[in-house]
Amino acid sequence: MELIGPDHDLYDVLRRPAQPQYDAVRPAVIARCRSTDDVAEALAYARSRGLPVTPRGGGHCFAGRSSTTGLLIELSPLSEVSVADGRATIGAGARLAEVYRGLHEYGLTIPAGCGPTVGIAGLTLGGGLGLLGRRYGLTCDRLVAATVVLADGNVVEGDDELLWALRGAGGGQFGVVTSLVFDAVPSPAATRFRIRWARERAAEVIATWQEWAPDAADEVTASLAVTGDRVEVFGASLDRFDPGPFVDGEIDVRDDLSWPELKRSLSEEDDERVVHSRSEFVRAALPRAVIDELLGTGCELNFTPMGGAYNRVPVDATAFAHRDERFLLEHVGTDRDAVRRSWSIAHPHASGHVYPNFPDPDVPDWHTAYHGPNYERLLSLKHTYDPTNTFTFPQALGGAR
Ligand SMILES: Cc1cc2nc3c(=O)[nH]c(=O)nc-3n(C[C@H](O)[C@H](O)[C@H](O)COP(=O)(O)OP(=O)(O)OC[C@H]3O[C@@H](n4cnc5c(N)ncnc54)[C@H](O)[C@@H]3O)c2cc1C
C-alpha cells in the first residue's frame, strides 16, 4: 500500500472526484491499493488513527460519497480483467472502457453502462443500467462472486447473503470490494441508432416514447434525451433496426461498430460544469400536460427504459428493489432550483423509487425510495457485516456517523 499525502506529486491527481462540486473535499491521506492485502492494511491504518474511510472506484458518485476528509481508498491499480470458463473477473478499480476492451478480446461483454470512466465497482453495487440490460438484466444481476475486505480487515468471498446485498444496495456500505466475478455474455454485433427532431417536437416524441420503449423487444434499448434545442431517441438494437413509431425523425444508423466502439459512441464526456441532477422511476405514462410543464423548466430530461429482463427478476431476489418500473426520468441542469422544480412536477406521477446509483440527498423517505421492501433485510445484513458502521455517509444503511 502506498500512502499519498497532500505533499505528494500524485495527491491532486488522485484526490479529484469526477464530479467537480466535491473538489473541495480533501482527504487527509490517500491509500493507493494494489491488492486485497493492501486494502486490509489501509483499513488498519485508518482504524489506528481514527480516520473515516471511503472507497473510490471511478469517483462518479452524484452525492460525493466517494470523497472524504479521512482516508480515501484508491483502487485504480486494481483494474485487471481476465476470463475463465465464460466468467469475467474484474478488479474493482477498473473503469467501464477498460472492462469492455478487456472482455471484447475474448468475444465477451457484460451488460453495463456507457460512461467510459465510470467505475465497475460503484456501477455494479448500485445496479447497473445499460444497452444490454433489457436483454440480460442489470450489471449486478450477472454478479456471481466478489472478494470483500470487511472493516476489521477480514477478507471474505461474498456468501449468498452478502452477494445478495452487493447486488444493488448501493456502494460503500458493507466493505471494500476488491474483485468482482460476472457471468459474461457474447459481445454482440449491434446497430446503433440516433433519431433526432427539433425541440418543438419534444412533447409528442416523449408521449410516443413512453408508450413504446419500455415494451419494445428485449433486443432494443431506446433512451430519450431532451437537450438544448433538440430531442433525440438513441440506443442500440441487437436485431434488425426498426425505428418503430419514429419514422419521421432524422435517422442516423451505424451497424459497423464493434461493441466497445458502439458504447463509446453513445457515451457523454465527463462534464466540467457543476450540474445538478434528480431522478425517479416512473410506472405509468406521464399525462401530456405534465410533459408540457416539464419542458417549460429548461432542464435537460433523460428517459431510460426499464422493462424487459430488468423486470423479470423478483423484487426480493437481489437487493435492487426496482423491478416494476417502466422508466427512469432524470432532470439535469446547472440551475439547482430549475432541477428541483422539474423533479416536483414529475414527482406526483412517479413511483417514489430512486435508483441507488443516482443518489439524491433531498429525496423524502430514502429507505423506501432506494430499497423498497428490501430495506429491513439490508439493515440486518449491515449489522452483520459492518457492525461498527465504518462505511457510512448520509442515507447509508445503519445511519450516518
Ligand atoms: C458520466 C456518467 C455516466 C453514467 N452512466 C451510467 C450508466 O450508463 N448506467 C448506470 O447505471 N449508471 C450510470 N452512471 C451512474 C453511475 O452508475 C454511478 O455514478 C456510480 O456510483 C459510479 O460508480 P463509480 O465507481 O464511478 O463511483 P464512485 O464515486 O467511486 O463510487 C460510488 C459509490 O460506490 C462506492 N464504492 C466504489 N468502489 C467501491 C468498492 N470497491 N467497494 C465498495 N464500495 C465502493 C463509493 O464509496 C461510493 O459510495 C453514470 C454516471 C456518470 C457521472
Phi/psi-derived region of residue 59, left when phi > 0, alpha when psi is between -120 and 50, beta in every other case: left
Strands 71-74 and 53-56, by their bridges, are parallel
| pLDDT given for residue 66 in this prediction | 97
**Separation CA 20–CA 127 (nearest Å):** 24
- Atom 17, ligand 1: residue with shortest CA distance: 123
Query: At residue 5, does pLDDT exceed 80?
Result: yes
| pLDDT given for residue 233 in this prediction | 98
Nearest-10 crossing angle of helices 288-295, 202-212: 130
**Separation CA 347–CA 282 (nearest Å):** 9
Residue 134 Cα to ligand 1 middle (Å): 20
CA dihedral of 60, 61, 64, 70, whole degrees rounded to 10: -80
Q: What is the pLDDT of residues 140-192, one digit of tens each?
A: 999 999 999 999 999 999 889 999 999 999 999 999 999 999 999 999 999 99
**Separation CA 129–CA 306 (nearest Å):** 9
For ligand 1, residues with CB inside 6 Å are 18, 54-62, 65-66, 75, 92, 113-115, 118-119, 121-123, 125-130, 171-172, 176-177, 268, 270, 357
Nearest ligand 1 atom, CA 61: 29
Q: Which residues contact 333 (CB under 8 A, 6 or more apart)?
A: 275, 276, 297, 298, 299, 300, 339, 342
Fold of 2-74: 3.30.43
Nearest ligand 1 atom, CA 125: 34
Q: How far apart are the first and last CA of the chain?
A: 26
| pLDDT given for residue 399 in this prediction | 83
Q: Where in the chain is the domain with CATH 3.30.43.10?
A: 2-74
Residue 398 Cα to ligand 1 middle (Å): 21
Residue 127 Cα to ligand 1 middle (Å): 10
Residue 94 Cα to ligand 1 middle (Å): 11
Residue 296 Cα to ligand 1 middle (Å): 30
**Separation CA 115–CA 18 (nearest Å):** 11
Q: What is the pLDDT of residues 69-108, one digit of tens each?
A: 999 999 999 999 999 999 999 999 999 999 999 999 999 9
CATH class of the domain whose range is 191-369 = alpha beta
Instruction: Please check whether the domain covering 81-186 is classified as CATH 3.20.20.140.
Output: no
Q: Which of 134, 234, 304, 357 to mutate to test the pocket of ligand 1 (most atoms within 8 A of CB)?
A: 357
Q: Where in the chain is the domain with CATH 3.30.465.10?
A: 81-186
pTM assigned to the model: 0.97
